[in-house]
């Protein structure tokens, strides 16, 4: 405990030093978009106005505290009103406020200049992840994916060293092209979330049943990180927003690739796979979505994350196994994958879990089984 406190004290020292050295760390980021820079300038303008007022007011107070004290022998004056002064310190602040309101209004009007966009992405908040849906020129939905926190649980529970982007990293970042006006349409599946990318200077609530919009033109390629900023339940602190801005040509290539892949996935839903295909695809899905808790060897981290190797669920009736993957398990870390993975992926990963390690149920799980199971629910 003492060590922690010592660390804290050294932290205090280092902050003071760091504070003097790099004022940047202490301040809002200017960001990369035109809007975010304007916001930053506005922030600095108001900050310095406040500092100026503060210097004057606190200066008068401290002058008074030093000179007008009884111990210094100062006799109290008895004045107690002055209409001129009162009018003065009502009018002057009003004028200062008007001076602030003017640029603020200008920036705000600019922020509301939606329309004329080059592309649209739908951003949908879930407890506790984001979904991004890409719309094509005719505004048809082409493909979508979920963006989950990628920080391993071991880092969160202090069993492993924390990485550089601790809690600000996701499995699939939202990708957008540079130099194009991207419009974001925000909604929510369940409770209110808020989508924020500090470097773009934009933040808006994602509200169930209500649509909101935002836009950004990002001039520089890069990875931009933010977080959900509206309390949305237990894992509110664990749903980061990560946006990767790519050079236009690179983005176009990626986009075309995704559209083709989405079409293939759609076809896969009606296909019958061989056991080998299921195992290969299943292993890939498993390593992406399941292995961080249940471990690549299927042993899990009991008692928090149960082992799948030899588990009653993974070797029991298929229906129960699918149910837990599709709907999750209430009150545990097991989330529902029904909306996040498509039927082919669920079929593959289920098949994999039933045949990997020492498990061998000998059955086959096809996409149509998953579709049938999902349809029979409720």
Partner 1 sequence: MSRNIGSTGGHGRTVGKLCLMVCGMFAFGFALVPLYDMFCEVTGLGGRTGDQYAYDPASMQKDSSRLVKVNFVTNTNDGMAWEFWAESGGVRVHPGEVKEVKFYVRNPTKQRMVGQAIPSVVPGRAAQYFHKTECFCFNNQVLEPGETLEMPMRFIVDPDLPKNVPTVSLSYALFDITEMAAGNMKSRAEG
Partner 2 sequence: MSEVVVAHHDDHHDHGPDKGLARWLFTTNHKDIGTLYLWFSFTMFLIGGVMALIIRTELFQPGLQFIDPAFFNQMTTNHGLIMVFGAIMPAFVGLANWLVPMMVGAPDMALPRMNNLSFWILPFAFAMLISTLFMEGGGPNFGWTFYAPLSTTYAPDTVTYFIFGVHLMGASSIMGSINIIATILNMRAPGMTLMKMPLFVWTWLITAYLLLAVMPVLAGAVTMMLFDIHFGTSFFNAAGGGDPVMFQHIFWFFGHPEVYIMILPAFGIVSQIIPTFARKPLFGYDSMVYATASIAFLSFIVWAHHMFTVGMPLAGQLFFMYSTMLIAVPTGVKVFNWTATMWRGSMTFETPMLFAIAFVILFTIGGFSGLMLAITPVDYQYHDTYFVVAHFHYVLVPGALFSIIAAVYYWLPKWCGRMYDESLGKLHFWLSFIGVNVTFFPQHFSGLAGMPRRIPDYALQFADFNMVSSIGAFIFGFSQVFFLYVLIKTIRSGEPATDRVWEGAHGLEWTLPSPAPYHSFTTPPNVTDAEAHS
- Pick out residues in 212-231 that bind partner 1 (CB under 8 A): 212-213
Closest approach, Cβ 84 to partner 1, in A, equals 32
Handedness of CA 33, 37, 39, 43 (dihedral sign): positive
Which secondary structure element, helix H or strand E, spans residue 225, and what is its range? strand 222-227
Distance, CA of 140 to CA of 126 (rounded, Å): 22
Which of partner 2, partner 1, none does residue 376 bind to, with CB < 5 to 8 Å depending on kind?
A: partner 1
Q: How far is the CB of 325 from partner 2 (least distance, A)?
A: 23
Least separation, in Å, of the C-beta of 327 and partner 1?
A: 8
Are the C-beta atoms of residues 131 and 124 closer than 8 Å to each other? yes
Residue 358 C-beta: closest distance to partner 1, Å: 34
Cβ-count burial 157-167 (b if 16+ within 10 Å, e if not): eeeeeeeeeeb
Q: Does residue 113 bind partner 1 (CB under 8 A)?
A: yes
Identify the H or E element spanning 319. Answer: helix 318-327
Residue 69 interacts, among partner 2, partner 1, none and using kind-specific CB cut-offs from 5 to 8 Å, with: partner 2
> Of these, 73, 115, 302, 331, which contacts partner 1 (CB under 8 A)?
115
Residue among 63 and 112 whose Cβ is closer to partner 1? 112
Cβ 352 to partner 1, closest distance in Å?
25
**Could you tell me the smallest distance in angstroms from the CB atom of residue 375 to partner 1?**
4
Strand 222-227 to 240-246 pairing = antiparallel
In whole angstroms, give the CA distance from residue 100 to residue 50. Answer: 11
Q: Residue 191 or residue 279: which is nearer to partner 2 going by CB?
A: 191
Among 238, 12, 283, 232, CA closest to 125 = 232
Interface with partner 1, residue 183, by CB under 8 A: yes
Could you tell me if residue 326 is left (phi over 0), alpha (psi between -120 and 50 degrees) or otherwise beta?
A: alpha
Binding of partner 1 at residue 210 (CB under 8 A)?
yes
Residue range at the interface with partner 1 (CB under 8 A); choices 33-41, 44-52, 208-216, 269-277: 208-216
Partner whose footprint covers residue 93, from partner 1, partner 2, none (CB < 5 to 8 Å by kind) = partner 2
Measured between alpha carbons, how far is 315 from 361 in angstroms, rounded to an integer? 6
Q: What is the dihedral of CA 294, 335, 371, 287, to 10 degrees?
A: -30
Considering only residues 299 to 358 of the shown chain, the ones binding partner 1 according to CB under 8 A are 336, 338-339
CB of 205 to partner 1, least distance (A): 11
Q: Which does 155 bind (CB under 5 to 8 A by kind): partner 1, partner 2, none?
A: partner 2
From the list partner 1, partner 2, none, partner contacted by residue 378 (C-beta under 5 to 8 A by kind): partner 1
Q: Identify the residue among 138, 272, 276, 362 touching partner 1 (CB under 8 A).
A: 138
Q: Which of 204, 210, 203, 215 has the alpha carbon at shortest distance from 188?
A: 210
Q: Would you state the torsion angle of the CA atoms of residues 294, 298, 300, 306, taken in this order, to the nearest 10 degrees?
A: 90
User: Residue numbers of the site for partner 1 (CB under 8 A)?
Assistant: 112-117, 120, 122, 124, 135-136, 138-141, 183, 185, 187, 189-190, 208-213, 336, 338-339, 374-378
């Amino acid at each position: 405990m003492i060590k922690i406190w010592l660390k804290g004290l050294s932290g205090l020292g280092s902050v003071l030093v760091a504070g003097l050295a790099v004022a940047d760390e202490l301040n809002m980021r200017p960001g990369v978009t035109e809007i975010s820079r304007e916001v930053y300038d506005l922030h600095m303008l108001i900050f310095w106005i406040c500092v100026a007022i503060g210097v004057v007011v606190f200066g008068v107070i401290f002058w008074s505290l030093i000179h007008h004290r009884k111990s210094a022998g100062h006799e109290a004056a008895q004045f107690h009103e002055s209409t001129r002064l009162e009018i003065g310190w009502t009018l002057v602040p009003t004028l200062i406020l008007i001076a602030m309101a003017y640029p603020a209004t200008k920036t705000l009007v600019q922020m509301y200049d939606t329309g004329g966009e080059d592309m649209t992405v739908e951003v949908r908040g879930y407890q506790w992840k984001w979904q991004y849906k890409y719309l094509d020129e005719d505004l048809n939905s082409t493909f979508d994916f979920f963006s989950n926190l990628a920080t391993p649980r071991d880092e969160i529970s202090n069993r492993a060293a924390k990485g550089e982007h601790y809690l600000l990293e996701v499995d699939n970042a939202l990708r957008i092209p540079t130099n194009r006006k991207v419009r974001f349409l925000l909604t929510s599946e369940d409770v209110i979330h808020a989508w924020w990318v500090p470097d773009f200077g934009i933040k808006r609530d994602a509200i169930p049943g209500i649509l909101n919009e935002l836009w950004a033109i990002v001039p520089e390629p890069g990875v931009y990180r933010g977080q959900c900023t509206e309390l949305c339940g237990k894992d509110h602190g664990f749903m980061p927003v990560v946006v990767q801005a790519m050079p236009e040509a690179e983005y176009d290539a990626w986009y075309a690739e995704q559209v083709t892949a989405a079409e293939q996935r759609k076809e896969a839903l009606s296909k019958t796979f061989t056991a080998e295909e299921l195992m290969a695809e299943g292993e890939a899905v498993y390593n992406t979505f399941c292995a961080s808790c249940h471990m690549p060897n299927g042993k899990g981290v009991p008692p928090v994350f149960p082992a799948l190797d030899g588990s009653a669920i993974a070797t029991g009736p298929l229906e129960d196994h699918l149910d837990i993957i599709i709907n999750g398990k209430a009150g545990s870390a097991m989330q529902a994958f029904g909306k996040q993975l498509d039927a082919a992926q669920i079929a593959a990963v289920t098949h994999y879990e039933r045949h990997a390690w020492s498990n061998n149920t000998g059955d086959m799980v096809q996409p149509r089984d998953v579709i049938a199971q999902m349809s029979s629910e409720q």
